[in-house]
Amino acid sequence: MLLTVFAVGGLPEFTEGDDLAKIIGDAVEGILEDGDILAVTSKIVSKAEGRLLKADDREDAITAETVRVVASRAHPGGVTRIVENKLGLVLAAAGVDSSNTPEGHVLLLPEDPDASAHALAVALRERFGLAIGIVVSDTLGRPWRQGQTDVAIGAAGIRVLDDLRGTNDANGRRLDVTVAASADEIASAADLVKGKAGGLPVAIVRGLGHLMGSLDEPGARALVRPAAEDMFRLGTQEAWDEGYRAGLHAAHQ
> Which residues of the chain are in CATH 3.90.1660.10 domains?
53-108
Give the CATH fold of the 53-108 domain: CofE-like fold (3.90.1660)
Q: What is the pLDDT of residues 2-57, one digit of tens each?
A: 999 999 999 999 999 999 999 999 999 999 999 999 999 999 999 999 999 988 78
Q: How many CB atoms within 10 Å of residue 79?
A: 10
pLDDT at residue 114, rounded to an integer: 98
Give the CATH fold of the 4-51+109-225 domain: 60s Ribosomal Protein L30; Chain: A; (3.30.1330)
Q: Which residues of 150-184 are buried (b: 16+ CB within 10 A; e: fewer)?
A: bbbbbbbbbbbbbeeeeeeeeeeeeeeeeeebbbb
Q: What is the pLDDT of residues 192-205, one digit of tens each?
A: 999 776 789 999 99
> Which residues of the chain are in CATH 3.30.1330.100 domains?
4-51+109-225
Alpha-carbon span 229 to 150, nearest angstrom:
23
Residue 212 has pLDDT above 90, yes or no: yes
For residue 114, the surrounding DSSP H or E stretch is helix 113-128
Work out whether strand 37-41 and strand 133-142 pair parallel, antiparallel, or are unpaired: parallel
Q: How many CB atoms within 10 Å of residue 41?
A: 23
